[in-house]
């Protein structure tokens, strides 16, 4: 669930990294951790306080998969798309999730419950295909297991 944006706290986060332009990626990670996405307001404030242009911050935000720019759903389901998981069926698992949730990767269900995202290795390659739901990583996830996990977390199907 997204935390309400607060300019003072945002400023504190930026200052934790010395308000240095070279710390932009770390600042963005900290913002995602706190707010779960990088809003336009955040981009303007970060650019202003790091002495960067809005376009420079936008460029970095759009380069990295982790920096989403819209609020995610209540639960974030990440399916690993890296090599080991692909070899063990993560593409088919992704297609199954897209079909059952009625959304594409990076999308959120209409009820706002589930956001589906790709991820590139969860460090769980021995148990491919791997999935992360919110903060928990699961291994050897079959389509049925994925359905059950999403249902358990309260997500819609
Ligand atoms: S490749 Fe999927 S967890 Fe490493």
pLDDT in tens, 59-77: 999 998 789 998 999 999 9
User: What is d(CA 147, CA 150) in angstroms, rounded to the nearest whole number?
Assistant: 5
Residues 79 and 124 in one domain: yes
Tell whether 30 is covered by a domain. Answer: yes
- Is beta strand 131-133 parallel, antiparallel or unpaired with respect to 75-80? antiparallel
pLDDT at residue 1 greater than cutoff 70: no
pLDDT at residue 39 greater than cutoff 90: yes
Cα of 23 to ligand 1 centre, how many Å?
Answer: 28
Q: How close are the terminal C-alpha atoms of the chain, in Å?
A: 19
Tell whether 70 is covered by a domain. Answer: no
pLDDT at residue 2 greater than cutoff 90: no
pTM: 0.82
What is the average pLDDT across 138-142? 97
* Number of domains forming the structure of the chain: 2
pLDDT tier at 3 (50, 70, 90 boundaries)? confident
Domain holding 111, by residue range, is: 75-152
> Considering the chain, what percentage of its residues have pLDDT values greater than 90?
88
Cα of 108 to ligand 1 centre, how many Å?
Answer: 23
User: Within 6 Å (CB) of ligand 1, which residues are found?
Assistant: 80, 82-85, 121-122, 124-125, 128, 130
Among residues 3, 118, 131, 134, which one has the least CA distance to residue 71?
Answer: 3
Q: Which atom of ligand 1 is nearest to the CA of 128?
A: 2
Residues 51 and 116 in one domain: no
């Amino acid at each position: 669930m997204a935390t309400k944006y607060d300019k003072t706290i945002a400023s504190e986060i930026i200052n934790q990294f010395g308000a240095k332009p070279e710390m932009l990626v770390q600042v963005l990670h900290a913002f995602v951790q706190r707010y779960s996405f990088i809003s336009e307001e955040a981009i303007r404030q970060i650019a202003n306080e790091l002495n960067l242009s809005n376009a420079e911050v936008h460029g970095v935000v759009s380069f990295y998969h982790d920096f989403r720019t819209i609020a995610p759903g209540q639960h974030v389901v990440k399916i690993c798309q890296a090599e080991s998981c692909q070899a063990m069926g993560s593409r088919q698992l992704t297609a199954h999730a897209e079909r059952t949730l009625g959304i594409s990767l990076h999308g959120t269900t209409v009820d706002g419950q589930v956001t589906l995202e790709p991820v590139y290795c969860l460090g769980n390659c021995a148990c491919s295909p791997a999935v992360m739901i919110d903060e928990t990583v699961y291994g050897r996830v079959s389509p049925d297991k994925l359905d059950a996990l999403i249902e358990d977390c309260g997500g819609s199907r």
